[in-house]
Amino acid sequence: MSADDAIRKLTSLSSHIPAPASAPEDPPELELAIRHLKASEFEAVIVAAQPFVKAERADLRRDANRLCALSTARLGRWDESLVYWKALFADEHTAHNALQLASTSAMAGKLDDAEHWIEETREINTSTRELPGLMMQTNFITALCQSGQAQAALPYLDEIKSVYEQVGITDPTHLCLRKLPMFDFFLQNSAPVIRAALGPESGRAWYQSMLPHLDDHGQSCLKDWLDRHFFGAAS
């Protein structure tokens, strides 16, 4: 398993972010660190990889910083993780790494930095198209909510809502072709954010504002879902 593959599998914040399309051979200097990573021995990963984070060889330096960034994040050491992600981004200027910086900044409670990095992610991804669909928003929303910042996540959830309104058609096949999650999946996963940010009454109104933009199936689905999950709010 390559370092990128192991990172993609084990990291919780980026579980839906793809690794680069092709991964080179792992630097032999990092074999011990990678074995520790596979065993979820994150402190040991840092000890083994940290001596190489400023190596002259770019591939070794990149992977060492990647391993340390992941491992410190898994240990909840967000400020320390940011140092390694920034070093990696300096060498590997990708939307993937910018998104990691956005999410990690959010987990560290650094909202201004997080918003800077999500905009950096958008800018890079406009050119590279490496992150598909709504991946930027969903990953960033997850980090904001996990760090207790649901209110700050609302504008990004508004963006996702707007996409469904613009598409209008809620047929699963149609959404799949557009690389969008099924409509009921969107409803289910957005509800905790909306409840935390808006409360039941305003939350219901937030969803109801979608109705004029949806097809008959979507309207029926949304009304039924609201009656089951936001029944305590005014209709």
Domain boundaries, the chain: 1-148, 150-235
Statement: residue 173 has pLDDT above 80: yes
**Residue 138 contacts residue 157 (beta carbons within 8 Å):** no
Statement: residue 4 has pLDDT above 50: no
**Residue 107 contacts residue 143 (beta carbons within 8 Å):** yes
Cα–Cα dist 60/213, whole Å: 51
Q: Minimal CA–CA distance to 78: which of 111, 47, 116?
A: 111
Look at residue 92 and give its three-state secondary structure. coil
Task: Indicate the pLDDT class of residue 189, thresholds 50, 70 and 90.
Answer: very high
Question: How many residues in total does the chain contain?
Answer: 235
Q: Which of 75-84, 128-137, 138-147 has the lowest mean pLDDT?
A: 128-137
What percentage of the chain carries pLDDT values higher than 70? Answer: 88
Q: Whole-number mean pLDDT of the chain? A: 89
Condensed to tens digits (0 to 9), the pLDDT of residues 205-221 reads 999 999 999 999 999 99
- Is pTM beyond 0.75? Reply is yes
Average of pLDDT values for 118-146? 94
Please name the amino acid found at residue 29.
Answer: E
H or E stretch at 160: helix 150-167
Which positions ≥6 away from 192 have C-beta within 8 Å?
145, 150
Statement: residue 39 has pLDDT above 80: yes
**Residue 139 contacts residue 161 (beta carbons within 8 Å):** no
User: Under CATH, which number does the domain 1-148 receive?
Assistant: 1.25.40.10
Percentages helix, strand, coil for the chain, rounded to the nearest 5? 75, 0, 25
Average of pLDDT values for 57-78? 98
